[in-house]
Amino acid sequence: MTLGNDFNRLKKLVDDHILDYLPEIDPKSGTLYEAMKYSLLAGGKRFRPVLCLAAYEMATAGKGDLVFALPYACAIEYIQTYSLIHDDLPAMDNDDYRRGKLTNHKVFGEDIAILAGDGLLSAAYEVMAKDMLLYLDEQDMLKRKVKACFEIAKGTGCRGMVAGQVADVENEGKNCSADMLHFIDDNKTAAFIKSSVMCGFYLGGADKIMKENGRTFGECLGVAFQICDDILDVVGDPKQRGKKTGGDAELGKSTYPAVYGLDESYRQAGELLSKARESMIIYGEDAVVLNDILSYVQGSIRRDD
Amino acid sequence: MTLGNDFNRLKKLVDDHILDYLPEIDPKSGTLYEAMKYSLLAGGKRFRPVLCLAAYEMATAGKGDLVFALPYACAIEYIQTYSLIHDDLPAMDNDDYRRGKLTNHKVFGEDIAILAGDGLLSAAYEVMAKDMLLYLDEQDMLKRKVKACFEIAKGTGCRGMVAGQVADVENEGKNCSADMLHFIDDNKTAAFIKSSVMCGFYLGGADKIMKENGRTFGECLGVAFQICDDILDVVGDPKQRGKKTGGDAELGKSTYPAVYGLDESYRQAGELLSKARESMIIYGEDAVVLNDILSYVQGSIRRDD
């Protein structure tokens, strides 16, 4: 289960520049920078920023300079990282490990972890606003950036990711309905994945049809991504995942396997991934990275039986 | 110690519309909206959003429509409110009361308080980005909004308020140097107050000199504000403050009275407030609200002896 060259080329770009866009942090602010850096470099797959860059490349038919989209891709990863730091806190999921490393609060303490998260979330918008300042006199480009920023805010805020997180937390230990499960996953996971894709399409000036297909792709991939994560929490290998399995059941989380059973969860994930793939057919080779990510997610839950 | 009519007119505008700019929140996201609303309506003085609106009125010589600045003023209050919610958490200052009411986590639990804070911070940027979408074809206005948004991000992020918070937390119980004390207060408090003022000046299209004076005003008011808060934590009346006194000393916080003693703290606060007032002299009656706030802060530590 590996990702292709194009995925890795974009991922490397994010890895190489993830710290470059952080605002300059005064050493007097103690471990703030260390704490932010620790989680930014904790070895994620960078799916969301890569989705943004890949969509941008698609929209510009490979002609757009990636530097135009890179600050937004990094901002996306800052938001993803803040959400993981806060999610791992004792008052939330209380996780000691993430991606095989100690979680932020286990290393830096709860107070610094909360603030490192706040710092990363703030940094995301500071980066985007600062980048807009460079394009004040290029109206078309500035418009794209504003729209891209709005997509990210919408997908990750209180009618997106944060809404999903609250619903997730408040439905722990309850037998939640399929309706509520869908609300949680649409918001907790899919909204941000969709907005990462759309961010790239807006930055690249995608046409209306590409944006419509992008929304379908993002929504389907996003929910499938969460279903697969739910499935792997039941059947996965803790070593490969870098965190324990069975955590969801322990916390009584609302998951696809809990609501639908394992077999139906596999089926629904497969269906969503197929739908996502269909939305990209007309773009052929231009959609190589987006398709690659679909294959990766599909492969992660492949059954040998 | 009261605030004038013009202050109250602007404060009322914020009070009346503080919930209007929140993104529409789905009832499925449980208590998220309630938790955000609880702290937004907990009865703050609205100094920061009023500073923004007052600066905007000054820059437009009273001719600007306040609706142009109001989303930004509300965004500022969302950020202020998120920072208080997170600051009160058990892992941070562990406060049970704020403005005479139970703190957010005492009512909604720590998990929801963390997420309500995250939701408010995200909402601030969603509001600003959404507002920018309305001005995509009015380039001059859009530029002002982008600059205003950047000012807020810079003042409240990891080279502003969050940096100050980390330094504050990490210097608890240490005999911190005057240098570090200044770093903490410049960032924890003054940076955001300055950026609230500057946000209004940018939105109003202030000229270069007004912006320079605005920076001086914001910096001096901001630090004076923190010194007064430090002083009141020593000599204040808990009933009037809506929270206990002596909390700083208990936590071994780095404060002006701890580093300089009370008398010198009073003197420095007075000096800064005078400097702030001087920066506004040339604007006469146009600066009525800004001067009113100075008088209020000065009055809060007036000694009867």
Q: What is the ipTM of this complex?
A: 0.96
Q: Which residues of B185-211 are buried (b: 16+ CB within 10 A; e: fewer)?
A: bbbbbbbbbbbbbbbbbbbbebeeebe
Averaged pLDDT score across all residues of chain B: 94
Which residue, chain included where needed, has tokens 């208080």? B84
pLDDT of residue B126: 98
User: Which chain A residue has its CA at the smallest distance from B26's CA?
Assistant: A159
> DSSP character for A27?
G
- Residue B10 in 3-state DSSP? helix
Report the run of H or E that residue B121 belongs to, with start and end. helix B110-133
pLDDT greater than 50 at residue A305: no
Number of A:B CB contacts under 8 A? 206
**DSSP class per residue in A213-264:** HHHHHHHHHHHHHHHHHHHHHHH--HHHHTS-SSHHHHHT---HHHHH-HHH
**Is B125 an interface residue toward A (CB < 8 Å)?**
yes
Residue pair B26/A159 in contact by the 8 Å Cβ criterion: yes
Ranking A125-134, B95-104, B178-187, B234-243 by mean pLDDT, the lowest is B234-243
Which positions 177-206 of B are in contact with A (Cβ < 8 Å)? Answer: 180, 183, 187
User: Which chain A residue has its CA at the smallest distance from B179's CA?
Assistant: A28
**Is A302 an interface residue toward B (CB < 8 Å)?**
no
Which positions 93-122 of A are in contact with B (Cβ < 8 Å)? Answer: 109-112, 114-115, 117-122
pLDDT greater than 80 at residue A54: yes
Q: What is the pLDDT averaged over residues A145-165?
A: 98
The residue ranking higher by pLDDT, B250 or A219, is A219
Contact across the interface for A153 and B122, Cβ inside 8 Å: yes
> DSSP character for B97?
E
User: Which chain B residue has its CA at the smallest distance from A108's CA?
Assistant: B170
Which residue, chain included where needed, has tokens 């941000």? A192
Q: What is the pLDDT averaged over residues B183-205?
A: 97
Contact across the interface for B28 and A123, Cβ inside 8 Å: no
Q: What is the pLDDT averaged over residues B106-111?
A: 98
Residue pair B44/B121 in contact by the 8 Å Cβ criterion: no
Contact across the interface for A28 and B167, Cβ inside 8 Å: yes
Entry pTM: 0.96
pLDDT above 90 covers a percentage of chain B that reads: 87
User: Which chain A residue has its CA at the smallest distance from B114's CA?
Assistant: A86
Ranking A12-26, A141-155, B235-249 by mean pLDDT, the lowest is B235-249
The one-letter amino acid code at B38 reads Y
pLDDT above 70 covers a percentage of chain A that reads: 98
- The number of C-alpha atoms within 13 Å of B233 and in the hemisphere containing its C-beta is 20
pLDDT of residue A303: 66
pLDDT greater than 80 at residue B240: no
Among residues A93, A115, A108, which one has the least CA distance to residue A42?
A108
Given CA atoms A95, A193, B121, B24 in this order, what sign does their dihedral have? negative
pLDDT of residue B305: 43
The residue ranking higher by pLDDT, A253 or B33, is B33
Residue pair B19/B127 in contact by the 8 Å Cβ criterion: no
Among residues B50, B45, B38, B43, which one has the least CA distance to residue B76?
B50
Contact across the interface for A23 and B157, Cβ inside 8 Å: yes
Query: How near does any CA of chain B get to the CA of A299, in Å?
Result: 32
Q: What is the pLDDT averaged over residues B33-50?
A: 96
Would you give the distance in Å from CA A46 to the centre of its chain? 8
The CATH H-level (homologous superfamily) assignment of domain A5-300 is: Farnesyl Diphosphate Synthase (1.10.600.10)
Query: How near does any CA of chain A get to the CA of B289, in Å?
Result: 29
Averaged pLDDT score across all residues of chain A: 94
